[in-house]
Copies of this chain bind each other. A is one copy, B any other.
């Protein structure tokens, strides 16, 4: 049940863009450095997010990437859907026709329940929620530093 690096890195990239939302367009180079991820690979992932309309970009000198809307308006479910597709643990949860036993399979029901629980969390959390959590942590750490 592991998430791939697409979802893992992609969410971190989006959080990075959210933290720098006020600064306008952000260089991929800088995101990659802060997140310690290959710039080329992140570049590939960000294009998925751009195609789906969550991110916009400017080419050429002074180019970069930015969120298309405020972090308060971006739910994690949107991000993960783009990068990972459905969070269903099994394909048959999304598509009954894939398995002819699906309609009478109690095992499937459990995976469906789990999918719904995951979706519920991702749906009810926005990038802004993560931003606040992260900045809160940092302040706490800075405080602790002086004790």
Q: Which residues of A contact B (CB under 8 A)?
A: 1-3, 7-8, 11-12, 15, 36, 76, 84, 87-91, 101, 103-107, 109-111, 113-114, 117-118, 120-122, 125, 130-131, 133-134, 137-138, 141
Q: How far is the CA of A8 from the CA of B90 in the complex (A)?
A: 8
Given contacts A110-B76, A133-B109, contact A1 B117 (CB under 8 A): no
Residues of B within 8 A of A36 (CB): 101
Verify B141–A104 contact, CB threshold 8 A: yes
Q: How far is the CA of A7 from the CA of B11 in the complex (A)?
A: 27
Q: How far is the CA of A111 from the CA of B12 in the complex (A)?
A: 12
Residues of B within 8 A of A131 (CB): 106
Q: Which of A12, A89, A114, A138 has the most CB of B within 10 A?
A: A114
Residues of B within 8 A of A130 (CB): 106-107, 109-110
